[in-house]
Each structure stands twice: as C-alpha cells, then as structure tokens.
Amino acid sequence: MFDKEIYSARRKELASKINSGVILFLGNKEAPMNYPANEYKFRQDSNFLYYFGLDEPNLAAVIDAESGEEIIFGYNRDVDDVIWMGPDASISEKANSVGVANTKPFGELFNYIEKQIGVGRKIHFLPPYRAETMIDLEKLTGIKTEKIKIFSSQELIKAVVAQRSIKQPEEIEEIENALAISYEMYATAFREIRPGLLERELYGKLEGITLSKGNGVSFPTILSVRGEILHNHHHENIMSEGDLLVIDSGAESEMHYASDITRTLPVSGKFTEKQKGIYSIVLKAQKEAIEMMKPGVKYRDVHLHAAKVITEGLKELGLMKGNVDDAVQNGAHALFFPHGLGHMLGLDVHDMEGLGENFVGYNSEIERSEQFGLAYLRFAKSLRPGHVITVEPGIYFIPKLVEKWKAENKLNEFINYEKVEEYLGFGGIRIEDDVLVTEEGHRVLGKQLIPKEIEDIEKAITGN
C-alpha cells in the first residue's frame, strides 16, 4: 500500500470537486467460479483501490462531500472466519492504515444511505460493471438494476477521470514494476520460442511469471500464431517454421498497476524478407508515433500519423495506391489497421474504461468518429504531463475482412486487392509500448526496454 497521506490527499481532492451529497464506493466481492465457495482470484475495484487502498472483499466507503467525513464499512473476522481464513487486523486498524478515522459494520451502510436519501441528499456512485454491485446499488438506492448505470453520477465520473488520468510518481513506479515483470515474460518468450512448441506451453509459462512476481495478469494473455485475430485467446496451435507469434500480454504489480506490451516474434528466430517488409512499417509507425508525443498534441493526430506511415509503407510494397492523405482520410488503412493506436494505462489495463470510454478519451473539443477503424480509438484528446498511454499500431491480413471489402469494391482507388491476396495467411504484426507524457515530451516506460528492432529480436531468440 502507499502511505496513508496519499490516499487522504486523493480523497480530499475528490471531495473538493463534488458540490454536495455523499460519494459512495462499493468494493468488489468474491466472484464464484462454479459453485458459491469456489471463487475466482479476487480483484478489488480499481476506484476503491485508488481512494481507499484496501485490497480485500466486502468493503464499502463513503465520503461526505460537504463535511468531509469519511467512513469505511466492513466486517471484523469472527471465530468461524478465523478457522478458515486465519486471523486478521480489525476493520478500524485497516481503515487507519489508509487514513480513515471512522468505521462501521457493513450492515449499517444500508441505514446510513437510507438516512441520507431521507433528508434529500444526492448519492454519487460510479457505473457498476458487476452484477453483485448492481444488485447492492438497487438495494441501497431503490433504483432498478437496469437503470443503475443511467443514474450513476457524471459529476463523480468526471472528477475521478480527471484525477486518475494524471499519474503520480508513485504510480509510475508501480507501472514500471509491472513492466519489469513484462521484461521477464518476454525474455522467457525469446528464450523458449521454437518450431514445435505449443502456444499453450509458452502461455502457461508467461502467466506463471506474472503470478510468481506480481499479482497475475492485467488481462488474459493474447499469444497466437494467428495474430490477425486481434484479441485471440485460443492457445492450441503448434508453432511452425515461418510463423509469426504475436504476444500481447501484461502483468499487475503488487499494487495492481498494469503493464501492456506486445511483441511479434519469428518462430524460427529469423524474419523472412516478406515479414521484415511489414514489420518495418509497423515499427516505423510506432516509433514516429512515440516521437510525436508531448503535451498539447491530440492523440487522435498521433493515431492518424501512424495510419499515414502504414499507408505509405503499404503503398511502397504495392498493397495500397493513390494519395496517402486521401487514403487515410477515407479510412482505407483500416483494412490493415482496424483498431485504435492506444489507450490509457494505470490500475486498469484499459484505464477507467468501466467509467465510460468517452469520458476517458474524448471531451467537448474532440468527438468520437464513426468511421470504421477510427471509431475504435479509445483515447483521442490532447496529451498532458502525467498521462500514460499505450502505443500499439499493427498490420493484419484478415481474410474475411479482405473478402468483404473486395466484394464491395470498397475504396478500391486506394487498395490493390490482387496484391493483398498474396498476403492472406501472413497473420498479423503488432508492437506495443507504454509511454509517459512528460513536461518536455515523453518517456517510454520500463527500466529495461524489451527488444523490438529486427536485429535485436533475432539476436534475442537465436543468440546471434
């Protein structure tokens, strides 16, 4: 946990931004896997972690926006709990460790909220993403579960997003701790990758590292020779000579901060000339995108620049044609690069996505596009010091998408479909790093950087 002063200061700042009423945070509960007492690994709600630090189930907390009073609601372990789970600190000791003076038994939360509603006070809560939380919110507020999200507090969402978007030095250190785990994961991948290896063998080893060094994965590992499937969670293929393996993976630090890294590796240790051609374009797009990052630059412009580099590169290889600016403006590059360039990173791998992507990545000066490809850009607004953003361009050859666009003659003034068909079966390439925006510009996070140049990757795999 951080020092209690950090949590107190965060709560004070939050309360100062909310005009009136009570701010309610519900921590997560255990989630059953296949029968009630057999649970998934517990993950605390990230907002609860950010303001109250306590990493255990069955907690709730309130902040009175007017008086500043803070209360944590929870349980003390009784003898039965101690038999199964062992002894533990009291709820008031735990509250004290994060700077909260008042505690009450969990059951009293219901009376407390009822009383506040009774005197006409607003209860601010964040949009829930778990069914149990929706049900608890219905019990507490009387609002039906299907309406709960609509009644979540925009004032609170905006205040939390503003605060969590600017990472404090302690948070950057935690993200770099998660990146140290990523470094080890990729060192293992470089060492182990070879023809004949099952995807699942490597997948198991990499996820094992996240558990032995931190808090497990920050999202389910994507590891596949079918890298053109963007979020491929199937790991049953055998790696073969000539395949490209996409590994998009992340770890959680001890304090639950995330890393999110992608590398694309040649299974045989050496890229073919054809693979080098596409890889070099993705790498150039990623490096130039990172180079652009500094305060005041709109991330949508960084995304569009990466799209331009991809279009130029594919034009040189004969897969695209025509005017590059027009091609990008019309979204032609999205046949190959159909996703956004990146997203915020923090306590969540897609940081604060549960609060609503548009609150995190867009504002009154920049609206989300509806164009295929650009519509998936999660973060578009101007960069500010303290933002941590992923930069993850890719080129993919998705047979079904190529088939569809070709049948529609879609944007055929920019796409040379005959040439594109020569690449079906190629797979996909993505390269991803996590970047901090600084006062002066940016810094690629990670104390040891994971190889991404062609020669460095080949050397890391083959030793020469």
Task: Provide the binding-site residues for ligand GLY, judged by CB under 6 A.
Answer: 219, 248, 260, 343, 349, 392, 432
Task: Return d(Cα 138, Cα 144) in angstroms, integer.
Answer: 5
Task: Return d(Cα 72, Cα 418) in angstroms, integer.
Answer: 64
- Identify which of residues 270 and 368 has a Cβ nearer to ligand GLY in the complex: 368
Nearest to 342 by CA among 387, 408, 392: 392
Which of Mn ion, ligand GLY, none has residue 55 at its interface (CB below 5 to 8 Å by kind)?
Answer: none
Our CA angle for 281, 283, 287, nearest 5°, is: 120
Task: Return d(Cα 411, Cα 415) in angstroms, integer.
Answer: 6
- Identify which of residues 243 and 248 has a Cβ nearer to ligand GLY in the complex: 248
CB of 453 to ligand GLY, least distance (A): 21
Which of Mn ion, ligand GLY, none has residue 54 at its interface (CB below 5 to 8 Å by kind)?
Answer: none
Both tokens assigned to 234: 């199937």
Interaction between residue 136 and Mn ion (CB under 5 A): no
CB of 260 to Mn ion, least distance (A): 4
CB of 224 to ligand GLY, least distance (A): 13
CB of 258 to ligand GLY, least distance (A): 9
Q: Residue from 260, 433, 434, 458 that binds Mn ion (CB under 5 A)?
A: 260
Interaction between residue 252 and Mn ion (CB under 5 A): no
Which of Mn ion, ligand GLY, none has residue 199 at its interface (CB below 5 to 8 Å by kind)?
Answer: none
- Identify which of residues 232 and 390 has a Cβ nearer to Mn ion in the complex: 390
- Identify which of residues 136 and 351 has a Cβ nearer to ligand GLY in the complex: 351
Task: Return d(Cα 25, Cα 59) in angstroms, integer.
Answer: 9
Task: Return d(Cα 341, Cα 304) in angstroms, integer.
Answer: 9
Both tokens assigned to 110: 């219901």
- Identify which of residues 243 and 434 has a Cβ nearer to ligand GLY in the complex: 434
- Identify which of residues 133 and 390 has a Cβ nearer to ligand GLY in the complex: 390
Q: Show the binding pattern over residues 220-249: x = contacts Mn ion (CB under 5 A), - = does not.
A: ----------------------------x-
Would you say 76 and 90 are in contact if contact means Cβ atoms under 8 Å apart?
yes
Q: Which stretch binds Mn ion (CB under 5 A): 13-21, 154-162, 424-432, 444-452?
A: 424-432
End-to-end CA distance of the chain: 43
Which of ligand GLY, Mn ion, none has residue 359 at its interface (CB below 5 to 8 Å by kind)?
Answer: none
Which of ligand GLY, Mn ion, none has residue 219 at its interface (CB below 5 to 8 Å by kind)?
Answer: ligand GLY
CB of 247 to ligand GLY, least distance (A): 11
- CA diameter of the chain: 74
Q: How far is CA 89 from CA 61, 64, 76, 102, 203, in A?
A: 18, 26, 8, 15, 37
Q: What is the DSSP letter of 266?
A: E
Residue nearest to ligand GLY (CB): 219
CB of 418 to Mn ion, least distance (A): 33
What's the sign of the alpha-carbon dihedral 306, 308, 309, 315? positive
- Identify which of residues 159 and 206 has a Cβ nearer to ligand GLY in the complex: 206
Would you say 250 and 182 are in contact if contact means Cβ atoms under 8 Å apart?
yes
Nearest to 435 by CA among 397, 399, 389, 392: 389
One-character DSSP codes across 75-118: ----HHHHHHH-----HHHHHHHTT--EEEETTHHHHHHHHHHH
Give the bridge partners for 222, in sequence order: 248
CB of 262 to Mn ion, least distance (A): 5
- Identify which of residues 357 and 392 has a Cβ nearer to ligand GLY in the complex: 392
Q: What is the DSSP letter of 363?
A: B
Q: Residue from 100, 225, 390, 423 that binds Mn ion (CB under 5 A)?
A: 390
CB of 23 to ligand GLY, least distance (A): 30
- Identify which of residues 167 and 350 has a Cβ nearer to ligand GLY in the complex: 350
Task: Return d(Cα 302, Cα 391) in angstroms, integer.
Answer: 9
CB of 310 to ligand GLY, least distance (A): 17
CB of 349 to ligand GLY, least distance (A): 6
- Identify which of residues 61 and 258 has a Cβ nearer to ligand GLY in the complex: 258
The residues that touch Mn ion, with contacts defined as CB under 5 A, are: 248, 260, 390, 432
